[in-house]
Amino acid sequence: MEIVLAIAVVAVLATSLIIVIRWGNLILIGKMPTRFFSFFAILFTSGLDVGLIIFPLTEFPIYATETVYSFTNPLAIEFGFWGFLIWVFYFFTTFYFCAIEPRLKLFEIKWIKLVNNSIVITTCAFTGYLFLTYLPDYFESLSVFLQFGLVALVLLSAVLSSTDIRYVKILSLSSTWLFFGLILVIWIYGELDLNGLSSNLLQLGEYFSNVHRFVLPFSDYHAFYLFWWFAWSIMIGQFVSRFVGGIKVWQLLLALLIIPSIPIALWFSVLFGIFEQGIQITAVINYLMIFVGVIFVINSLDSLIRLYTENLELTVGRLGKFRYISIHWILLFSLILLYRYTPLEIEWIGLVVICLYAVIVRYIFIHQKKLLETLSK
């Protein structure tokens, strides 16, 4: 599987470079273009999930002790798994769904449509599963029944919010500002002054001198992350492409590489300060992190539910509000349980996405002349 993964990563990076060279000045406009900040708020909060909030403090100790990560510091490793180069995956799919899919309409072919929506649904459920899995790390006293109950409630909130498109911008903008607020709170709580923050950001900078090491999977856990990003990439590209507000291809790439990486870098840096000093997280900070994490989960699930329900025409307008909420809540909660109690893994979903990419690229290659002509118009 890792050989397939490595080939896929290199192919996406190389293809993205070709796209920028060939169509760098092409202006991309989605179906529902938004202002620049709104677009990136939607992208940032839809393209990331609760893992961004709750993973780092559990992962820093691993990166600090295991030999495979010894080529740089834990902060640079964490950033490499979440920031900068990895966002090329989203660029690749956003470009496709803005510029190519409207011309080729491959995702309207029945079997591709079925596979695509199966990917969206199962990846959507994985977000809920992650939340369920890591809850005990932040709420040790929470019983198993209450853990499942909280996940069920969060999932219900996401399904409810997906019933109206106006909630997308509200959730995305509120998630973004809450996240920046959380960064400020953790910075103050960790008593990191500007010098401490600057020192951590300098450590994070080691990622860029080792960026080549993050292209190919160098550990099983890195491979897990790459498969996870592949699984997310196809559906995030579909969702956020509709909100692109008239920017050039090269601008989209630079913005995706830089803009989301800034808050990610700040967040990881303040958390790393907590880790380095061995500061215990208080109950209040715990609750605050979980609260922001819940908003991220709701926002991510809302985006993905909205995507597959529109693709499959299982919308509120067709089903009615009660049936819509019931059907999608039961479907997703059942899949969360499937992840919990069966060997189902996100790596499988990522592998299916890679195979789907291969089919699409082959089709585009066959129709290359026609595509080049239409993109040039």
pLDDT 10s digits, 207-230: 999 999 999 999 999 999 999 999
Check: pTM over 0.85? Answer yes or no: yes
> Cα 258 to chain center, whole Å?
15
352 close to 121: Cβ distance less than 8 angstroms: no
DSSP 158-205: HHHHTT-THHHHHHHHHHHHHHHHHHHHHHHHTT--HHHHHHHHHHHT
Confidence bin at 144 (pLDDT 50/70/90): confident
Residue 41 has pLDDT above 80, yes or no: no
Residue 372 has pLDDT above 70, yes or no: no
Confidence bin at 33 (pLDDT 50/70/90): confident
Two tokens, residue 376: 């040039």
164 φ, ψ to 5°?
Answer: -140, 125
Residue 369 has pLDDT above 80, yes or no: no
3-state secondary structure of 28: strand
Q: From residue 143, give the alpha-carbon distance in Å to each of 3, 147, 249, 297.
A: 41, 6, 49, 21
Two tokens, residue 124: 């959507």
Please, how many CA atoms are within 13 Å of residue 42, restricted to the half-sphere of its CB? 28
Q: Compute the mean pLDDT over every residue in the chain, rounded to the nearest whole number.
A: 88
Domains assigned to the chain:
2-376 (1.10.4160)
Burial classification of residue 372, based on how many CB atoms lie within 10 Å of its CB (0-12 exposed, 13-18 middle, 19 or more buried):
exposed
pLDDT digits (tens, 9 = 90+) for 68-116: 999 999 999 999 999 999 999 999 999 999 999 988 889 989 999 999 9
Q: What pLDDT, on the 0 to 100 scale, is given for residue 47? A: 65
d(CA 353, CA 212): 24
Residue whose pair of structure tokens reads 């011309």 in the numeric block: 103
pLDDT digits (tens, 9 = 90+) for 120-135: 899 888 888 888 888 8
| C-alpha torsion angle, residues 212, 24, 352, 349 (rounded to 10) | 70
Burial 276-305 (b: 16+ CB within 10 A, else e): beeeebeeebeebbbebbbbbbbbbbbbbb
3-state secondary structure of 222: helix
141 φ, ψ to 5°?
Answer: -85, 0
- Which one has a higher pLDDT value, 367 or 52? 52
Residue 173 has pLDDT above 90, yes or no: no
Q: What pLDDT, on the 0 to 100 scale, is given for residue 376? A: 60
- Which one has a higher pLDDT value, 39 or 84? 84
Q: What pLDDT, on the 0 to 100 scale, is given for residue 343? A: 80
pLDDT digits (tens, 9 = 90+) for 299-313: 888 888 888 998 888
Closest CA to 154 of 357, 292, 312, 10: 292
Section 327-344 average pLDDT: 90
Confidence bin at 172 (pLDDT 50/70/90): confident
Longest dimension (CA), the chain: 62
Q: What pLDDT, on the 0 to 100 scale, is given for residue 34? A: 83
Confidence bin at 283 (pLDDT 50/70/90): confident
Two tokens, residue 326: 């019931």
